[in-house]
Structures are given as structure tokens and as C-alpha cells.
Structure 1
Amino acid sequence: MEQPDWYYVDLKQVGIDFADPAEVESYDERQADDPQEDRALLARLGIEHFHVVADFGCGTGMLACEAAQIAKRVHAVDISAEMLAKSLRRAKGMGLGNLATQQAGFLSYEIPDNSVDIITSKFALHHLPDLWKGVALARLQRTLRPGGKLFLRDVVFECDPTEVPAVAESWIGWMGANTGYDRAEVATHIRDEHSTYSWIMAGLIERAGFRLLQADYSMRIYADYFAEKA
């Protein structure tokens, strides 16, 4: 659908370029994602065999494929064609035929309203400025069926603005010691991407028409939100 000239273009890469095949191939190792953790998350969200699931910013499809082993249908959405190709290879290797990919972002995906039971997204919404996070969350709310569940994990600053320098430096140090991301890459995230404050994110979720069920924070930089369509 054609958008007005003021509409945000969400297909552009922000931060690390995940159109680069080398970045895609190293992604799982650097993120240290765990399929067992994904299975536990899906169980917590109450996934059933008759559910339709959508995973936004699906990356290499680890969570989406875990969902597809249970759900009726899974939409795997990402702006990176390389990530989607990796997701399809993963699904094929697991013998899954109920996973559909879509190259799109939160503002450009095309999934009918009231058609999805569970929406998940890990480390993707921070690619949008706060104004457009709100628009994106409102779109997700419309996509869910009544009572549908949302799980959102992202980099969120749980601190006062005056504490940002200390929290940022602490996170950079931790990432260098515990992940495959170096100082320059984490600094790029903080400087050029759009992570926000905890009180802003919680407010955006609720203003979009969700009932916020739980918000869990760790290291003052990571947040998990569980919500349902109000």
C-alpha cells in the first residue's frame, strides 16, 4: 500500500547491516540464542496447535521455527532478505511447511487485522524512533485477535537520563566480555539506534491498546514485556 510522503521507511537498515551474509551467518553465535529458552517462552505464552503466530524481526528464524513446530501457522517477518532466506533454510531442515516469510518491518507488514493469536519480537523494535514505535504497536494490537498475547524483548534503559553514561559504559563492557559484539558495535547501537527508557516503552505499549501484564528488567538495559490485547 502506498504511504504518504511523511511515513517512516522501515525497510532501511539501522545499525549493523543484516543484509550482509557474513553478519547473518554469525548472528546466532553472537546472540547466544537458545531454542530451549524459546520453547519455554512459547509455553509461557500458551501456544497451542490451532494458533497463528507472528514473529517480527525474526532474524534467522530460531524462535519462529520453534513456534511452527506447535502452531497452525507462523508469519516470520524481517526487513533482511538474507535473514529470511536463513529462516526458510532452517524451516526446511526441520521439515516445517507452515512458516511463511515476509520482507517487511513493523510499519509495512501485511497481515490481516484480528488474525493472529500470539506476536513475538526480540531486539527489533528499537530500530524505530519512539513516535513510530507507537504506530507500530498500534498496528500489532490490531493484528491480534481479542485476548491475543504480545511478547516484546528489547534494549531498554531502566534508568534516569543522568545515569545513561554509566549504564551505557557498563553495558559496553559486559557485551565485550560476554558476547561477540565489540565496543564499536555496541556504541553504534547506543548512538544511532533508538532504544528508549523503560517508562516510555511501558507507556507506548499501554497507549497502543494493550494491557501490560508483566515487565521484567535486567542489568538496567534489557526488558521483557508480556501484554495482551485489551
Structure 2
Amino acid sequence: MSGSDSANGRKSTAPAWQFDEFRSVGRDYSQPAEAAIYDASHADFRDAIAEAERILDWLNLAPGERLIDVGCGTGTLLIQAAKRGIVGVGVDVSPAMLTQAKLKATAAGVDAIEWIHTGYLTMPPPEPAASGIVSSFSLHHLPDLWKPVALLRLRSWLAPHGRLWLHDVIAESGDPIEMQSAVAAFVARQHALGGDFLREDAEGHFRDEHSTYAWILEAMLTTAGFRILSREFAQGVIGTYRCERLD
């Protein structure tokens, strides 16, 4: 529920060699000050509500069906979903972001949302299974060694023929030279759009985080048991994949 905050999904029994998804990579949104300005700092170049509505239109979930948002941030998607009668589960490794999400949900008067401090590798299996999962700008926090593990877990959380919307920083071209050119152009556009704040954010992403190539991600998706229904790219480095669970 809107005020419901499930226990930290991180397990003390996780093997010592498992990737620590709770460790901050890139801009540190575990800090309350960063989480508090997240929506405002992105408002000039993203319409989060319009994005959420497009995702929900594609998922086409019925009232009462369950939607999991992994890396839910400040909860915009799930708040919009709750207005449609969809039962939401918000997953994030940042307690500060979950705090902002709960405040927004309360202000919006929605209560069909459960917030869980956990991540791809540590979330307990949901009961019942979800009809839809969204992963937006969050899978890149995992190195490529661990992305297939995460995708296999996402598939296991979905009901048969459940849908996955995956949106992230992904290199469309498999050519390393073309990739670097696309990254340089993207960083320049971000600088023009939002000054040093967005430039530094983009530079830090490509330097420190774990984005991958489209051909690698597509192999991971199919191996994990997803059918790729469609894909589209913007600026050569922002990819959207619409998938369904294969059964």
C-alpha cells in the first residue's frame, strides 16, 4: 500500500561473490539531497507523466493486475498506474528515492503501491506473479556478467506471456568507433540542453556505469526467455525494448 514499505530485500545469505547492487554507481541517488531534487532536475528535458502514460498504454494492464517497476525512483509510473486501478510494486536500492516516492503517492491520494528496498538480484519472488515489469534507466547499474541473472529473475517474476518494457542507455551500433561518436554527440547535446549538470551526469554515466551494446543485450533477453516484440533507438544510445515472456 502507499504507506507500505517491505523489509530490505538484501539477504545476508547472498554469496560473498555476488555483485553488490546497493553500492552507489554514478550519481549517488542514495543521498536524500539528490533524491529530493530528482524530479525538478529532470523536468526541463523529460515529461515523466507523459512517458508513464505511454508505457502503461503499451502494457495494457487491467485493473487489479500487478506491475513491478524495478528502479522505480520517485514513483511517477506507479502513481499513474494506481490511478488506472493497477496494483504497483516499486523496487529501488535507494531508501531516499523510496521516501520521495511514498511522499508523492500520499500527496496523489493513491494507495495500491508496495515499496520495497531491494534490487534485481535480491528481490524475493513476488506473489502473485506480475502481468508487467518496467525497467527504465536502471539495468545499467549491473555489469554485463550480472545482467543475464537479472533478466532471468525478471522473467520468473512475470505471469505467462507477461510483458517487459526495458528502457536504458544502450549502444545501438555494434561498432566501437560508431559507439564513441554517438556518445560524444550525446554528451554534447546534454550539455546544450542542461548545462554542466547534464554534461557531468552523461560523462559520469559512460565513464563509471555499465551500459552495453544492443547486440549483447538482445542475446541476453532471448537467452533469458523473452521474445523481443519491438525495439527503437534515439540518438544512437537510448534504447527501448518491448518484450514478452516466452512460455
Q: One fold, TM greater than 0.5?
A: yes
Quick check: 1:85 aligned with 2:96?
Answer: no
Q: Deviations along 1:174-204, whole A, 9 cap, x unmatched? A: 1112246333321111011000001111111
Which residue of 165, 168, 175 corresponds with 2:190?
175
Quick check: 1:187 aligned with 2:203?
Answer: yes
Q: Distance in 1 between matches of 2:26 and 2:18?
A: 20
CA shift, 1:68, in A, is 1.6
Q: Distance in 1 between matches of 2:23 and 2:85?
A: 30
Percent of residue pairs bearing the same amino acid type: 35
Which residue of 53, 59, 83 corresponds with 2:73?
59
* Residue identity in the other structure for 1:152: L
Q: Report if aligned partners of 2:61, 2:86 keep a CA contact under 8 Å in 1.
A: no
| Aligned twin of 1:205 | 221
Does the residue aligned with 1:130 lie in a helix, a strand or coil? coil
Quick check: 1:143 aligned with 2:157?
Answer: yes
Q: Distance in 1 between matches of 2:61 and 2:208?
A: 35
Does the residue aligned with 2:146 lie in a helix, a strand or coil? helix
Q: Distance in 2 between matches of 1:168 and 1:133?
A: 21
Change in Cα spacing, 1:111 to 1:33, as seen in structure 2 (3 Å) is: farther
Which residue of 119, 123, 132 corresponds with 1:118?
132
Q: Distance in 2 between matches of 1:21 and 1:176?
A: 25
Which residue of 173, 176, 179 corresponds with 1:164?
179
| Aligned twin of 1:9 | 20
| Aligned twin of 2:243 | 227
Query: Which stretches in structure 1 are left out of the alignment for 5+ residues?
Result: none
Change in Cα spacing, 1:111 to 1:179, as seen in structure 2 (3 Å) is: farther
Question: Could you tell which deviates more after superposition, 109-118 or 88-97?
Answer: 109-118
Query: Which stretches in structure 2 are left out of the alignment for 5+ residues?
Result: 1-10
Q: Report if aligned partners of 1:114, 1:146 keep a CA contact under 8 Å in 2.
A: no
TM superposition score normalised by structure 2: 0.89
Higher RCO (C-alpha 8 Å, min separation 6): 2
RMSD: 1.5
Does the residue aligned with 2:41 lie in a helix, a strand or coil? helix
Q: Deviations along 1:120-144, whole A, 9 cap, x unmatched? A: 1110000001111110000000000
Q: Which runs of 4+ in 1 moved over 6 A?
A: none
Q: Deviations along 1:67-108, whole A, 9 cap, x unmatched? A: 122244210000110100110011111111111101111111
CA shift, 1:48, in A, is 1.2
* Residue identity in the other structure for 1:218: A
Q: Distance in 1 between matches of 2:153 and 2:35?
A: 27
Q: Deviations along 1:149-195, whole A, 9 cap, x unmatched? A: 00010000112112232112101111112246333321111011000
* Residue identity in the other structure for 1:42: L
Question: Could you tell which deviates more after superposition, 37-46 or 48-57?
Answer: 37-46
TM superposition score normalised by structure 1: 0.95
Q: Distance in 2 between matches of 1:43 and 1:89?
A: 25
* Residue identity in the other structure for 1:196: T
Which residue of 97, 102, 118 corresponds with 2:116?
102
